[in-house]
Structure 1
Amino acid sequence: MQLSIKRLGSMGVAAALAAASLSLLTAGAAQAATADGIAKTATSQLGSGPCGNGGKGYYAPGSSQSNSCSGQAWCADFAGWVWAQNGVKNLGGLNDLASSFKTYADNYDGGLSSTPHVGDAVFFHPNSYSGFEYDHVAIVTAVNSDGTIDWVGGNQSGGIVSRNSHMPGNVGANEWTNHGYSVNLQGFARPVGLQTSSLMRLDTVVAGNAWDNQRNTDGTWTGASMIDGNGTISQTATAALADGTFHVLTLTGGKVYDNQRNRDGSWSGAGLVDSSGSITALAATGMADGTMHVQTVVGGNVYENQRNPDGSWTGAALLDGNGHVTGLAAEALTDGTLHLQTLVSGNVYENQRNTDGTWTGANQLDGNGHVTAMAGEALTDGTLHLQTLVSGNVYEDQRNTNGTWTGANQLDGNGNITAISGTGLADGTLHLQTLLWGNVYENQRNTNGTWTGANQLDGNGNITAISAAGFLK
């Protein structure tokens, strides 16, 4: 009975989507799982019918799914096969119903997420209908800067694997209409066992121009290349966002500009974000909810500007009216909090943004009195690492998951360091960059807590500022 109902549902959706000029229908020996790998596998099947995959059909081995050649609506079987081909874990509970991906999210990720990622399964269901005949599931293959998404799904219009581009990516969006029912985006199921990216970027300032150097997932570096030849840039701040983009914020003439690196490697070019004209310092960090938070210092006070997932900005609002702040560092932790450190008269203060958007207020963290610069990194284990620069030496203080701090201990006693930056990566490592005589050195903290020691990364000799960011997921 279920099988015949699903067949009936798929025929109804085909007609509805054809009328709407969309490319959708409905439903009901693996490599290491990566988001890009999942997207590549899905798109490799474009144009295939239910017995694609070289005539073998689609299903997730070890699950309760039937082979897509069996005649049932097969969008779930296709999505399960794509995940299975890429080593996604815990697929045993999947079946031929699209809603089994919602169950998967309930079991392994606390429910469907509202934030899309490449490689996710996107689940659709009419809000006003209790049945499953008009459900659908597909694979997210792109998250676009305007908040839309691309997906590839099986059993879409024409009964094939096809792609939909620049579709609404927000939960509740009406994606198409079927038999009078609006079919809504319900959320995203994150694949378990996804190999997280160790990609990071190091941005440097030389003679007022911004240069970018990418650390690849195998640990090699591409080498620095110019991304902004403005000639008057004094500082940069780098952030990695949940949609896979990087943002390099530049400070020039007291104003902040944002240059976005897209997933395809192209750059948007620097666009004005804050025209204050009096900004003296900045920090930036991306959060798991897709937002980016940029803090700036104007007249010794701290302002915050939030970039929303759709690319809009809230505008800078006063966050800390101390009047004597000279430096900033910011980190987004895995628990959803944001931590902002401010530098006042050589002392470090910390202000925590809670998950509800409220702030605790700044409290003294390090009363050394001689700190001249800071860098902070969030790690996958939930800890926060803060480095401070005192008399050319680097000290590190760790915030444990229970909120306690270990206290600052010397990490690099070089004595001539002038700037620091750092980032945590999804593989659990931490990468700290130090600026010495215009050259950049890198020191890696391994997952066991040991450090490799500082090694020269960029011997340009004329670098004046540095910033870095990488993906934690």
Structure 2
Amino acid sequence: MTIKARRVATTLAGAALAMLVSVPFGGAEAAAATGQDITAVAQGQLGKGCSTGGWRCDPDAWCSDFVKWVWDTAGIDTAGIGPAAASVAAYGQQRGTTTGEPHVGDAVVYNYDGVSWAEHVNLVVGVRADGMVQTIGGNEGSSPGSVRFQDWHRATDWGSVRYVRPAGIQDAAPEQSPPPGGEGTFNAWTASVEMFARGTDGLLAHTYLGTDGKSGAWSVNGPWQIVGRPVSVYNPNSRAVEIYARDTLGYLIHSYIGADGQYGPWTRVGDWKIASSPAAVYNPGSRAVEVYARSTDNYLIHTFLDASGQNGYWSVVGDWKISETPAAVYNPNSRSIEIYARATDEFLLHNYLLPNGQHGTWTVVGNWKITGSPAPVFNDARRSVEVYARATDGYLLHNYLGTDGQNGSWSVVGNWKIADTPAAVYNPNSRSIEIYARATDNFLIHNYLLPDGQHGVWTTVGTWTISNTPTAVFHQSRRSVEVYARSMDGYLVHNYLGSNGQNGTWTVVDNHPITD
């Protein structure tokens, strides 16, 4: 059974004033800011309404006021911008900063009539090589509107556009990597972290963490039972969270949580059986969700969910056998999917999926043996893929794929032993990689990789013990790293690393028992 595309139209509720309000031009040039500065300010306002932010509030028209406030806060001179969306276009004309290509930090003015009216304005917070953008804007969504994030799309889907650069802005940041799939994922449509697990009844269970920091009640997506850990990934094509798992017969099955918050039905993907949990990652180049798993004869196999919502066929990747669950991450340097897996002789293997849809050949990374699955993550600060794994003697190992496309050499991180596969996530607050693992005494431990390439020291997080590999997800709305694990009595427990760099305290997420 195939799955049809699940697209939801986004309303431009950020209507601008009918007439342009003139504001005197002038004022001293503010300090230069970067596109990352503007993005960070805008992300911090996600979910807020007209009257809950620091900007001027006209309930019917505040999209331009939001853009002005964000630029002001980031250190941009905004003299000349008023309450009308068209004033942003006029600002670009007066400053000579109107451009035909998007950059991170730019404003996007929609359907400007060239004189005194435009329909809407929002901010570019992500740009891809194919011209697709991510945006954040005020007064978007259903009335009365709020600050909303729109994942990869063409701005021209909303009409004619012009991009306006802030005066004095520094070069925008290069393309970022979407986070790889996992038991937890950030849902850009709802601005929440979605968390999945297998219940003790074998059914998929789901909870979430909203912008207010509160966890939602558990819900169950039946009636198919699953084996192992599910994987979820946000799909900007459909604004859905795609969910993949292995069923009790060994087949890959697929469901989703749509933009309306409702579960889709389970469907079987292909007719090949798999021997591991799946791995999934969104590929901005092909606009597809790439899915990998270990076959029953131990080869890596690949399928995908294309931009129209159709699952593809299975294919075998290379002729080397693997053990455990593979891992995949998007690399914006090469616009490729980097794939890592443990070989049957316990060495780390590396392959890749090129932008043309072709896989490469397997290579062995270093000469150290590992146990369990590897944990790769893209490091935006160093523009490298960092790879972590557990050594056969129980220590954490680190390797990397540099900007030159070459894998580095193994190094040991700290002197604490870990019990299973680590979890690693990029933290834009500190521009560091945060690493979590279960220690041999079952406490959660934390380390990090700084932008200068140096690791920190291990610390213990809290006083609760855990019984499985932790999951770590960066919550873009809360600007925190959310950490989940299974407690010793079988419940999901939650901790976090705040924007101040401090870990919080453990809490139990409702009372739904889970496995794995």
Same fold (TM over 0.5): yes
Match of 1:398 among 400, 424, 429: 400
Distance in structure 2 (CA, Å) of the matches to 1:303 and 1:163: 42
Distance 1:300 1:134, change over 3 A: farther
Match of 1:451 among 448, 451, 456: 456
Map 1:65-464; keep pairs closer than 5 Å. 77-78=64-65, 80-84=67-71, 87-90=73-76, 92=78, 96-97=86-87, 99=89, 111-112=101-102, 121-125=107-111, 135-139=118-122, 170-171=153-154, 184-186=159-161, 207=200, 208=202, 232-239=226-233, 249-253=244-248, 254-258=250-254, 268=263, 271-272=266-267, 274-276=269-271, 278-281=273-276, 282-287=278-283, 291-298=288-295, 299-308=297-306, 312-318=309-315, 320-322=317-319, 324-326=321-323, 327-335=325-333, 336-345=335-344, 346-355=346-355, 357-369=357-369, 371-381=371-381, 382-391=383-392, 392-411=394-413, 417-427=419-429, 428-435=431-438, 439=442, 441-447=444-450, 449-453=454-458, 455=460, 462-463=467-468
- Helix, strand or coil: the match of 2:45? helix
Distance in structure 1 (CA, Å) of the matches to 2:347 and 2:235: 30
Distance in structure 1 (CA, Å) of the matches to 2:165 and 2:311: 28
Distance 1:162 1:459, change over 3 A: closer
Distance in structure 1 (CA, Å) of the matches to 2:232 and 2:75: 33
Distance in structure 1 (CA, Å) of the matches to 2:264 and 2:435: 27
Q: Which residue of 2 aligns with 1:67?
A: none
Distance 1:338 1:199, change over 3 A: farther
Letter in 2 for 1:283: A
Deviations 1:297-316 (A, max 9, x none): 22333333344566x14424
Moved more, 364-373 or 326-335: 364-373
Q: Which residue of 1 aligns with 2:474?
A: 470
- Helix, strand or coil: the match of 1:407? coil
Distance in structure 2 (CA, Å) of the matches to 1:321 and 1:294: 15
Letter in 2 for 1:341: Y
Deviations 1:357-404 (A, max 9, x none): 544433222343554421111122112111122323321112333334
Q: Which residue of 2 aligns with 1:33?
A: 41
Moved more, 132-141 or 376-385: 132-141
Unaligned segments of structure 2, at least 5 residues: 1-11, 21-36, 125-132, 177-185, 480-516
Distance 1:224 1:138, change over 3 A: same
Superposed CA RMSD: 5.7
Shift of 1:280: 1.9
Deviations 1:30-69 (A, max 9, x none): 9971336166255869xxxxxx9478x99xxxxxxxxxxx
Partners of 1:239 and 1:470 within 8 A in 2: no
Letter in 1 for 2:68: W
Shift of 1:328: 0.8
Letter in 1 for 2:245: T
Shift of 1:294: 2.0
Shift of 1:135: 4.7
Distance in structure 1 (CA, Å) of the matches to 2:353 and 2:318: 16
Deviations 1:432-472 (A, max 9, x none): 33346795624230535333415357956554x65544368
Distance 1:224 1:162, change over 3 A: closer
Distance in structure 1 (CA, Å) of the matches to 2:436 and 2:457: 12
Distance in structure 1 (CA, Å) of the matches to 2:463 and 2:232: 18
Q: Who wins on radius of gyration, i.e. which is larger?
A: 1
Unaligned segments of structure 1, at least 5 residues: 1-20, 46-51, 59-73, 142-146, 155-159, 176-183
Moved more, 224-233 or 374-383: 224-233
Partners of 1:394 and 1:412 within 8 A in 2: yes
Partners of 2:97 and 2:165 within 8 A in 1: no
Shift of 1:318: 1.9
Deviations 1:340-368 (A, max 9, x none): 11322222222233455544433222343
Partners of 2:425 and 2:435 within 8 A in 1: yes
- Helix, strand or coil: the match of 2:48? helix
Distance in structure 1 (CA, Å) of the matches to 2:317 and 2:240: 29
Letter in 1 for 2:269: D
Partners of 1:27 and 1:137 within 8 A in 2: no
Distance 1:91 1:212, change over 3 A: farther
Q: What is the total number of aligned residue pairs between the two structures?
A: 399
Letter in 2 for 1:139: N
Distance 1:383 1:150, change over 3 A: closer
Shift of 1:414: 5.2
Partners of 1:380 and 1:425 within 8 A in 2: no
